[in-house]
């Protein structure tokens, strides 16, 4: 089976991603995919928090086992079967910023598709080292006032 997760970031209203991941994937495999998809630095400390349907945190899983198992030991199917359907992918431990991954359904695996994959994206990629979102809006008024005029008599 394939699990679909909707990814959002608190305070980033324009950021949305929908990911499809095999149920057999580990949190570590999902981490590597997210790290690549969002262009996050590979040398930063990250971890997952899992939440039950009531919103209570159940476990924290990092690269090393801190009592709940490490990312490479925990499979999405196990979390799903235990009712842990919301994940927080903490990518900035100092500023407590995270990606919320909410279970959004499941479907049969297609042999013609590669997993994990992004099936929908909206908004720019968040900067892992900068808290406030960067605006990619172009304001033509600013561009026109900054333009250099060439009035040479050649």
More confident residue, 104 or 153: 104
Q: For 130-151, what is the mean pLDDT?
A: 50
Residue 109 lies in a domain: yes
Cβ–Cβ under 8 Å, residues 107 and 49: no
Tokens for 115, please give them: 């997993």
Strand ranges across the sheet with 117-122: 57-62, 47-51, 86-92, 97-107, 2-9, 12-22, 117-122
Which pLDDT tens digit goes with each residue over 63-97? 998 888 899 999 999 999 999 999 999 998 888 89
Its domain, for residue 116, covers 2-146
Residue 108 lies in a domain: yes
What pLDDT was estimated at residue 154? 47
32, pLDDT greater than 80: yes
pTM of the prediction?
A: 0.80
Residue 99 lies in a domain: yes
Q: What is the CATH number of the domain that holds 21?
A: 3.10.290.30
Residue 154 lies in a domain: no
Query: What's the domain count of the chain?
Result: 1
Residue 15 lies in a domain: yes
More confident residue, 133 or 74: 74
79 forms beta bridges with none
Residue 153 lies in a domain: no
Residue 152 lies in a domain: no
What pLDDT was estimated at residue 141? 52
């Amino acid at each position: 089976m394939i699990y679909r997760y909707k990814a959002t970031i608190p305070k980033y209203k324009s950021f949305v991603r929908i990911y499809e991941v095999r149920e057999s994937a580990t949190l570590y495999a999902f981490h590597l995919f997210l790290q690549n998809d969002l262009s996050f630095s590979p040398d930063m400390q990250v971890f997952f928090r899992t939440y039950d349907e009531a919103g209570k945190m159940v476990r924290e899983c990092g690269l090393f086992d801190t009592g709940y198992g490490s990312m490479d030991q925990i499979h999405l199917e196990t979390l799903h079967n235990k009712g842990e359907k919301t994940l927080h992918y903490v990518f900035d431990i100092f500023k407590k910023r995270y990606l919320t991954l909410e279970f959004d359904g499941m479907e049969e695996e297609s042999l013609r598709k590669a997993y994990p994959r992004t099936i929908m994206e909206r908004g720019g990629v968040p900067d892992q080292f900068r808290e406030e979102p960067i605006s990619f809006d172009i304001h033509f008024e600013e561009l026109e006032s900054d333009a250099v005029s060439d009035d040479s008599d050649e």
